Amino acid sequence: MPQHFLLSSKAKTLSLSQVLRMTDAEAYAQFKAIRFAQNQGKPFCPKCGCVEAYEYTTCPLFKCKACRSRFSITSGTLFHSRKLSMRDILGAIALYANGAKGHSALQLSRDLKLAYKTSFVLLHKIREALGDLQKGVSLSGTVEVDGCHVGGHVRPANYKADRIDRRLKENQSGKRRVVVVMRERDGRTVTEVFRSEDEAVPAIMQRVAEGSVIHADEASAWDALVSRYEMKRINHGFVYSHDGACTNQAESFFNRLCRAEAGIHHHIRRQYLSAYAAEMAWREDHRRISNGEQYRAIVTAAAKHPVSRQWKGYWQRRAA
């Protein structure tokens, strides 16, 4: 019987102890090398792009020779104006990368002895960086499309006689959203959140190249795609795959998302649903690379991402 990839030695190239045992100077040097990798690890100005800068000997700051502005290794990144040590930030990213189904803010606050608010914002900043990697991504070839209803749970009444049909629209809470996944065979996974599957059709037409082959179930919302794509439909009420048509890879993504909600986060508010869906899409696309490569990819994405306008000053209600 073949060994699962996560159990193999190839999947484990990073140990949390390696990160947390680093000194502050080693953590600083590691982030600096990743942050300025485009310039062989040498600092460049995030304001004007000048590659020549002075380095202060009394404090961890640099000064641009062109515009004369001062900056640090986290200036202009997600960790701008940070208060955590660089070792704690890298440790949080290592914990995040090691979570096969995600990592909760409560767990991170206990692991690193942080305030819950600090952990919550830090993890959402990482999700924002990973979610932005989906921007501008277009799919082609063979693409699986499916939707999953999330949230809006209505608790049934105690007595059976008082219970209502929760499937009807008038008996729903109005909080339910649909996560629509577009997954390219052996390619990228793209997610978006809508109120219904019908609203997802224009986004699918924008994301998926014309002439592609789309695999989908027999939901009526996907009928509008027939004129633009070659469609292969499957009736899940009778069979999971038939005559080459299936949405198994899309279902695999939804399985990861549902397990993350039920087993890790327990509840996802609808305003954050798109961030969690994008995180699970990234994890699904990178499930076959080692945790060390995932760690470096997350640090790189966070270092390249500009200051978050959504999460900067979030608890002070200054978010855009």
| 59 has pLDDT over 60 | yes
151-157 mean pLDDT: 84
If one counts every other C-beta atom within 10 angstroms of the C-beta of residue 39, the result is: 12
Please give the C-alpha separations between residue 120 and each of 73, 240, 265, 309, in angstroms, as whole numbers.
23, 38, 12, 16
| 31 has pLDDT over 90 | yes
Distance (Å, rounded) from C-alpha 19 to C-alpha 38? Answer: 23
Residue ranges of the alpha helices (H) in 99-151? 105-112, 116-131
pLDDT at 320: 44
Please give the C-alpha separations between residue 60 and each of 70, 179, 230, 306, in angstroms, as whole numbers.
10, 44, 57, 20
Report which secondary-structure segment, H or E, holds 71: strand 70-71
In whole numbers, what is the pLDDT of the chain averaged over residues? 91
Burial of 277 (0-12, 13-18, 19+ CB in 10 A): buried
pLDDT at 73: 93
* Residues 179, 290 contacting (CB under 8 angstroms): no
| 302 has pLDDT over 50 | yes
Distance (Å, rounded) from C-alpha 108 to C-alpha 254? Answer: 24
DSSP state of 11: G
| 126 has pLDDT over 60 | yes
pLDDT at 1: 60
The residues with which 113 forms a beta bridge, in sequence order, are none
The 10s digit of each residue's pLDDT in 183-219 is 999 899 999 999 999 999 999 999 999 999 999 999 9
pLDDT at 315: 78
Provide the 3-class DSSP secondary structure of residue 232: strand
| Every domain of the chain and the residues it spans | 1-15+85-135+290-320, 137-287
